């Protein structure tokens, strides 16, 4: 079954949900397919995961962490090349 491709912007938008595991299985599958061939998104995924891990080790995560991460990622998207 073919997986419908999604664009980088959609991946960025869902990045924090993906990392937090709060994402529909179908969307997760689409994002994993995207990561397989998009180094740009893979780099941001790795960087975001590092931030989540480091912050999680030092501070208890605030309840609005996901929202703040999404805002940070949306700032990244503004400076990202359109693909």
The answer to the question of residue 10 lying near Zn ion (CB under 5 A) is no
**To the nearest whole angstrom, how small is the minimum distance from the Cβ of residue 9 to Zn ion?**
9
Residue closer to Zn ion (CB basis): 55 or 77: 77
Question: Looking at 8, 10, 23, 77, which residue binds Zn ion (CB under 5 A)?
Answer: 8
Question: Residue 46 phi/psi, 5° resolution?
Answer: -60, -45
Shorter beta-carbon distance to Zn ion: residue 44 or 69: 44
Q: Decide whether 8 or 19 has the Cβ nearer to Zn ion.
A: 8
b/e burial code for range 20-59 (CB count within 10 A of at least 16 → b): eeebeeeeeebbeebbeebeebeebbeebeeebeeeeeee
Q: Give residue for tokens 């480091």.
A: 54
| Residue 38 within binding range of Zn ion, rule CB under 5 A | yes
Token pair of 68 as six digits: 């703040």
**Contacts with Zn ion, residue ranges (CB under 5 A):** 8, 38, 41
């Amino acid at each position: 079954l073919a997986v419908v491709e999604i664009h980088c912007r959609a991946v960025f938008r869902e990045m924090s949900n993906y990392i937090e595991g709060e994402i529909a299985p179908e969307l997760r599958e689409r994002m994993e397919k995207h990561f397989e061939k998009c180094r740009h998104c893979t780099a941001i995924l790795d960087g975001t995961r590092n931030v989540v891990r480091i912050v999680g080790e030092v501070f208890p995560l605030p309840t609005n962490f996901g929202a703040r991460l999404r805002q940070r990622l949306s700032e990244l998207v503004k400076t990202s090349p359109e693909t």
